[in-house]
Structure 1
Amino acid sequence: MKKLTPTAGQYISYQSAFDYWNMKLFENTLPNCILNFDRHRGAVGTFRWESWKRKNSIINEISINPDHLNRSFEKVMQTLVHEMTHLWQYSYGKFSRYNYHNKEFAAKMETFGLITTDTGKAGGVRTGRGITQYSLKEGWFMSYFTAMPDNIKMPWQSTTPEESEPNSREITRQSRNKNKIKYYCRNCPPIIAWGKSSLALICGLCSKPMLEVMEA
């Protein structure tokens, strides 16, 4: 059997992790998406809706910051499930734009035994921007995490030192201005713009509306 290349091995494990949580927590209801690694400064994970296209098909993207793969594997999987919950909410729920984690998002995470918080600990604010999570020992997430097959763990980690996470938040917003949001054009990548939330930006090349990057 031909030995897997580093790229193939890493992404097979990545896809296997997505498939595992899709089966265990989402009953295989999540649509296909592009799984990516993105060194997005200030975020351990991002969700970008409708950011990939093929002919008449458009799909979403989940990215994990490779510089944070050096965290515990449990934390990495928490981030993946966090982004998968954004995908679930965008597909079936009441999705909030502008990087906002609403009550529906928090409630869905809680059914998995993952409690949203702005501090990474119990007692924090559970909705809003800059939301992370912690796991309950008796929750479904921890139960399935301890039973995960060994081959799902991603074999490669970044050599770049992990950035600190002030207040244990998913988003630190160290890039540009902390009040600015990143926008992109799904038709003309890599067209990027920055501005405050709730802007109705139009791409200067194709005249299509620009979309906001959903971080963490």
Structure 2
Amino acid sequence: MGMIDISSIVDVRDGGHPTIETYKELELAYVFFNERLFQNQLPPCLITLQREKRTLGYHSHGRFVNAEGEKIDELALNPSYFGVRSIKQTLSTLVHEQAHALMDVLGIQSRRGYHCKKWGNIMKNIGLYPSQTGKFGGKETGQQMSHYIIQGGLFDVACDELLSHEFKLSWFDRYPPCSPIDLDVPLPSSFLVTTVAIQPKKPPKPVCLEDDEDDEFDRTITLDLTGDLSRVNKVLGFDDDYMDDEDDSDAITTTYVAPVAELGTSKPDVLVSDIVKSEKGKVIDEDEDQIIIEVEDDGLSGISIDLLNKPTTENHSNRLKYRCSICNVQVWGKPKLKLKCGEENCKDNFLTVVE
């Protein structure tokens, strides 16, 4: 028998080779976000699917090695949750772990499993804001960390581009351990990933610019990030502690491309309502300058919830669970028993079989 021609099965999309299909999708996402968000700084890695408890994913530096001694990183995702989270949320976990990979590339040290402030700054730069709760206002550093997606941030825009090309995750675990919809156990709070919209109430104060006849183009301003960063961070949409404390004294110059309307031109027809779109969701914070909105999720993974189930367990003990409907006391016993509760307040209430 001759060797199998691997090239004949690599590009199949009919579900006949689910292993290749699944890993090609994840590899495509890794390469795409490496280009769009990390300027191709990340080296190749080996993506694995791991059902680790209490984690959506992890990054392990230099975990794999080949016969020539070449080492590569492992980037693991937990497939148990693919069906109960949106594809964008799952991909944000992939990028979360890519941010850890960038730490290694840049030589930034942090203790094992700890999400430090420098990692948080990488996340903020790409539009994923660190949060222990996955919501606005959560603690930004720690051992168990999630994040929330900044609407209109680099990740949000790049992910929409990827999804617009009919990207999908083809295979889902039928028996997720939890679900935000109708299974018994809700998604743990540390696993949440929400989307947050930051909307200005009014345009920032005008910035002095040279006259430009063509106002439809974005203008570029150069900001000197020295001294008090609070005003600059407000314009850029970052918290005051965006820069590490030890870096605040250094002169850092950045270029920020801002739409004309955001810079506050004198054109009378540029209104806040023209540049701020209304979002479905709830207001979770606001001040005199901006409103923070937790945007409603745009759906789950795309798979029908009817295809997700709890694993069925067979009763091999030939015993049933009986419960009092008044005091909720429970006992196990043989089928077809007639049991009464002995508690005084239950007045000989019959126990009923529960699943």
Indicate the TM-score class for this superposition, using the shorter chain for normalisation.
0.7 to 0.9
Q: 2: distance between equivalents of 1:18 and 1:146?
A: 15
Q: 2: distance between equivalents of 1:42 and 1:95?
A: 24
Q: 1: distance between equivalents of 2:141 and 2:92?
A: 17
Q: 1: distance between equivalents of 2:107 and 2:37?
A: 16
Deviations 1:40-85 (A, max 9, x none): 0111101111110012111110000000111101110110000001
Aligned to 1:153: 168
One of 95, 102, 113 as aligned partner of 1:81 = 95
Aligned to 2:182: none
One of 135, 140, 163 as aligned partner of 1:126 = 140
Counting only pairs closer than 5 Å after superposition, residues 53-68 of structure 1 correspond to structure 2 as 53-54=65-66, 55-68=68-81
Deviations 1:101-122 (A, max 9, x none): 0111000000111100011111
Q: Displaced runs of 4+ in structure 1, greater than 6 A?
A: none
Instruction: Give the counterpart letter for 2:70 in structure 1.
Output: S
Q: 2: distance between equivalents of 1:14 and 1:44?
A: 15
Q: 1: distance between equivalents of 2:27 and 2:44?
A: 10
Secondary structure of 2:36's partner?
helix
Return the offset for 1:37: 0.4
Correspondence 1:19 to 2:19: no
Count of aligned pairs: 170
Instruction: Give the counterpart letter for 2:106 in structure 1.
Output: Y
Correspondence 1:47 to 2:62: no
Q: 2: distance between equivalents of 1:122 and 1:76?
A: 19
Structure 1 contact 130–169 (Cα < 8 Å) conserved: no
Aligned to 2:20: 8
Bigger drift between 13-22 and 160-169 goes to 160-169
Instruction: Give the counterpart letter for 2:155 in structure 1.
Output: F
Q: 2: distance between equivalents of 1:92 and 1:46?
A: 18
Instruction: Give the unaligned 5+ runs of structure 2.
Output: 1-7, 179-185, 193-355
Deviations 1:110-154 (A, max 9, x none): 011110001111111101111100011121111111111445322
Return the offset for 1:95: 2.8
Instruction: Give the counterpart letter for 2:127 in structure 1.
Output: G
Q: TM-score, normalised by structure 1?
A: 0.74
Q: 1: distance between equivalents of 2:145 and 2:159?
A: 21
Aligned to 1:33: 45
Structure 1 contact 16–152 (Cα < 8 Å) conserved: no
Secondary structure of 1:69's partner?
helix
Structure 2 contact 56–191 (Cα < 8 Å) conserved: no
Instruction: Give the unaligned 5+ runs of structure 1.
Output: 171-216
Q: TM-score, normalised by structure 2?
A: 0.46
Q: 2: distance between equivalents of 1:93 and 1:127?
A: 19
Counting only pairs closer than 5 Å after superposition, residues 63-142 of structure 1 correspond to structure 2 as 63-70=76-83, 71-142=85-156
Q: 1: distance between equivalents of 2:110 and 2:149?
A: 23
